[in-house]
Amino acid sequence: MPPELAALDAAYIAIARDARALAEGLTDERAAWRAQQGSWSVAECVDHLATANRVYLAAMEPSAERALAGGRRSRRPALPGLIGGWFVRSLEPPVKAKMKNPKKITPRTSPPFSEAMSAFLASQEDVRRFLQTYAGIDLASVRFPNPFIAGVRFSLATGLHVIAAHDRRHLWQAWNVRRKAERGAARNAD
């Protein structure tokens, strides 16, 4: 696997490890806690990621399959281009600007945490499987229609980097929610 793809794979492994650490010792009640009305709970952040990963991969898969069947072998590093790179960087934590999430990936209200976490970890395995299956195609040149922004097409390489950045963004958000919930519980115990 080329170095940039090995780094991506390592990033997905680190994301799954971070999610497991987030879940460690977290009760369903604490995972459902919200800092304020209209904000997301830990469970909702994780549910959002599981759904977003599935939707993104479903959009990427047909283009990847066609490229594999057509023998479009890798010619250059699987890195985002100028605009794709900017978009990836805009997703990375710490979050500087809020973005409105597309309706099709709005999390369920108060999803069961264990279910949301299982779905997210399964989506991470699906992303890694996609990466391993299509590592030999020209990920930097093959494009797919962005499932959230009509008329926009990203390279598969950009899509893979978007997934990683988006996962890190919302895990960062979930950790912040967990810390606030724990601080509130500690204050109430005093």
Q: Can you say whether the dihedral through the CA atoms of 57, 63, 69, 72 is positive or negative?
A: negative
Half-sphere exposure of 121 (CA within 13 A, CB side): 14
- CATH code, 92: 1.20.120.450
Q: How confident is the model at residue 190 (pLDDT cuts 50, 70, 90)?
A: low
- pLDDT tens track for 91-121: 999 987 777 888 889 888 889 999 999 999 9
CB 48 within 8 A of CB 171: no
What domain range includes position 131? 3-189
CA separation for the pair 83, 161 (Å, rounded): 12
- Number of domains the chain contains: 1
The pTM of this model reads 0.93
pLDDT 10s digits, 15-61: 999 999 999 999 999 999 998 888 999 999 999 999 999 999 999 99
